[in-house]
Amino acid sequence: MSDPQANPRLAKPDWLKITHRRADEYRELRLSLREKGLHTVCEEAACPNLNECWGSRTATLMVLGDTCTRGCRFCNVKTGHPRGIVDPNEVENASLMVKMMNLNYLVLTSVDRDDLPDHGAGHFAAIIRRIRQDHPQTKVEALVPDFAGDPSRMNILVDSAPFVVAQNLETVRRLTHPVRDIRAGYELTLSCLEFYKAQGMRTKTSLMVGLGETFEELEEAMVDLRRVGVDVLTLGQYLQPTKAHLPVQRFYTPQEFTQLKNTAYKKGFAFVAAGPLVRSSYKAADYLTFLENRATGQEKL
């Protein structure tokens, strides 16, 4: 694999030109969710993988509002000061969404909430406990902020017993700043993932490619992640949300994603998803299927 060269005017390749299909089979479900004021990240982000994930009864819900206290240069989420506001109905609504969608697997994520005393850890925990109580068959993956690396906050999440704890490394060490907000950090994310693993949690992270990293740097990140025991890795193509965000330096080919996937498995990850349109929550329940198959000796990489 050749190293990427800077080229902010790259044309999007054919394998990234996806027509968003609005399947009729989900039309009534979409309308019902909106009537209840429920919105999935899958819909709001116009994810091209929506039909595939919903078909496997998997969805992603973002909680704690739409305003992030951090300003990462790859992310299109609004940045500002949420002023400590938390929707008191969100716990009940999350459980309602699981019921309406008959979900097997829910990815629960949020903006950063540095304005809250616990950075939102208690809200995550409350939702996870409610879903485990109301829908014991549904597995919940918590894709969480770093909670500033505070063990007391992270333990709040651990005590709620999510099926998987995910925190995204996002990029390689060299590009962490300026890609991520200055309050985020490469070592900080690694230390959080290490903490969760030490508490017996299954752990997961995601890397974007196309920001100017080299293949060797991606390998280094994989080694660092395995050093702290991360189980699951996803790798996907960075796409520039607006002209105000970081430009794409390179588009990786599907063949190069296959190479990255094979390399990650050689590093020892239990499960890897890699591809141009793969995102951190893409077909997240596949890991659950992998674990179930492994229990019966039928796993396939």
The pLDDT of residue 7: 55
The residue among 277, 255, 251, 253 whose CA lies nearest residue 7 is: 251
Q: Are strands 203-209 and 78-79 parallel, antiparallel or unpaired?
A: unpaired
Distances (CA, A) of 145 to 30, 66, 183, 286, 289: 28, 14, 11, 23, 26
Q: Taking 80 as the threshold, does the pLDDT of residue 199 lie above it?
A: yes
Structural domain contains residue 253:
yes
Distances (CA, A) of 174 to 180, 185, 218, 234: 11, 11, 10, 19
Structural domain contains residue 5:
no
pLDDT class of 146 with cuts at 50, 70, 90: very high
pLDDT digits (tens, 9 = 90+) for 150-184: 999 999 999 999 999 999 999 999 999 999 999 99
Q: Taking 50 as the threshold, does the pLDDT of residue 84 lie above it?
A: yes
- Indicate which CATH number applies to the domain containing 91: 3.20.20.70
Q: Taking 80 as the threshold, does the pLDDT of residue 51 lie above it?
A: no
Strand ranges (E), 8-104: 58-63, 67-68, 78-79
* Token pair listed for 233: 């890795």
Only one residue has tokens 């992030």, namely 68
Q: Taking 50 as the threshold, does the pLDDT of residue 4 lie above it?
A: no
The pLDDT of residue 86: 94
Rounded mean pLDDT, 202-207: 97
How many domains, the chain?
Answer: 1
What is the residue-averaged pLDDT of the chain?
A: 89
Structural domain contains residue 301:
no
Q: Taking 70 as the threshold, does the pLDDT of residue 193 lie above it?
A: yes
Rounded mean pLDDT, 108-119: 96
The pLDDT of residue 301: 47
pTM of the full predicted structure?
A: 0.90
Structural domain contains residue 7:
no
Domain with 23, as residue range(s), is: 14-295
* Token pair listed for 177: 């700043």
Residue 95 to residue 116: CA distance in whole angstroms = 23
The pLDDT of residue 153: 98
Q: Taking 70 as the threshold, does the pLDDT of residue 21 lie above it?
A: no
Only one residue has tokens 């333990």, namely 155
